[in-house]
Amino acid sequence: MEQYREWAEPVMEKIREKMEWVSKKNQDKIPYRTDENGDYDDRSDLSREWNTDDGLNWWTNGFWGGIMWLLYQDTKKEHYAQIARNLEEKLTRCFEDFYGLHHDVGFMFQPTAVMNWRLTKNKNSRKTALHAANLLAGRFNPSGRFIRAWNDTSDNTKGWAIIDCLMNLSLLYWASEETKDPRFRQIAMLHADTVQKNFVRPDGSVCHIVEFDPESGAMVRSLGGQGYGEGSSWTRGQGWAIYGFTVSYLHTQKKEYLTTAKKVADYCLSQIPESGIIPVDFRQPKEPAWEDCCGACVIASGLLTFAECLTENEREDYQAAAVKILSAIAEKRADFSTDCDAIVQNCSSAYHVPEHHITMSYADYYFMEAIYKLQGIGKFVW
């Protein structure tokens, strides 16, 4: 990635400058998205129903802490570490209520508690992360060999697994490596094997949701989820698959995972528009032309990590594709001004939602993570 370092440096400088003031402005918040004035909301506001899925338990709540640890490793400025610590302490309140927690404890505690432990050896952070890992392992369904995704909603979700959970497996791999207890890794691999068999189509596109019979473990059906529809190709899900299977390969050295990551990556490379701007779904209609720059950042960061697993001669196409996406974001969809707290614009949570082209904090996380990879800065989070 040396050839891209020069391109990434001025982008990194813009990020440093913006995040200096954004972090101080929002130091007491857990942001998810910005409002019409460009100001971040606060998922830790206890005047909300904080013990529900859209409050303190909201699945993206760890990414703000992850951003702070990225900045801390880069700048060594203590205020970034302190903001991350304060956020982590707030998240531990979720354990008290328990009911709102879900499979995304990986997203919540990997970039916060695990990174705090890795960087500072905070013993409480290690305990917090192991607590979360045990909760995640407790969602494993042995009949279907999958980790249940969401809690009960208006649908019966007891047999639902989703592609996103491949990234949550990082917490289980870390727990096994940390404690020398193989059961966490075994659960993670069984889930990854199930996803490999039931989510990835022959052409490398992936399903978002697969429903299993929670008693027998048999596959029931796949659902379109946040993409355009059943059989379509939700782009952020493609990113989770590239990145998630690569992570499983890195922690286990099981070559089938890297082969699957390559299959999904090759499909993505065949679908990336010339503009580098990523749609919500690779198979969506031409109009309306909804974008998901968050999915774009996940794909780009995943491609960079995947490429590092290959030989030097094999890497170039994947690295070039990642930089093409990141360049499009930096030049056309990034706000480095003081008008908006978020950097990455034009994100969409799903295709069939009333509101599109919003900001989401984890888009900034994956954009920054990818730029830091190009710069060779920081420890690998996942």
Instruction: Record the tokens describing residue 3, joined without a space.
Output: 């050839």
Q: What is the 8-class DSSP label of residue 278?
A: P
Q: Which of 164, 281, 292, 364 is catalytic?
A: 164
For this structure, is 97 an active site residue? no
| 38-41 CB contacts, 8 Å cutoff, 24+ apart | 38/339, 38/340, 38/341, 38/342, 39/341, 40/341, 40/342, 40/361
Which candidate, 339, 257, 333, places its Cα nearest to that of 296?
Answer: 333
- For residues 270 and 198, give the distance between their C-alpha atoms in angstroms, rounded to a whole number: 22
Q: Would you state the structure tokens that stand for residue 123, as one six-digit string? A: 């013993």
What's the burial of 89, exposed, middle or buried (CB within 10 Å: 0-12/13-18/19+)? middle
- For 71, the token pair is 């900045």
In the set 104, 281, 341, 364, the catalytic residue is 104
The DSSP letter of residue 150 is S
Which residues in 283-299 are b (16+ Cβ under 10 Å) and which e?
ebeeeeebbbbbbbbbb
| CA-wise closest residue to 265 among 304, 312, 207 | 304
Q: Where are the alpha helices (DSSP H) in the chain?
A: 2-25, 63-75, 78-91, 94-97, 105-109, 115-120, 123-137, 165-179, 182-198, 235-252, 255-271, 293-307, 312-332, 361-375
Amino acid at 317: D
Residue 164 a catalytic site member: yes
Q: Pseudo-torsion of CA 34, 36, 37, 38, nearest 10°?
A: 30
C-alpha distances in Å from residue 324, one per residue of 84, 173, 319, 363: 31, 31, 9, 16
Distance from CA of residue 261 to its chain's centroid?
16
If DSSP states are collapsed to H, E and C, what string results for 15-70?
HHHHHHHHHHHCCCCCCCCECCCCCECCCCCCCCCCCCCCCCCCCCCCHHHHHHHH
The answer to whether 373 and 305 are in contact (CB under 8 A) is: yes
User: Catalytic residues, which ones?
Assistant: 104, 164
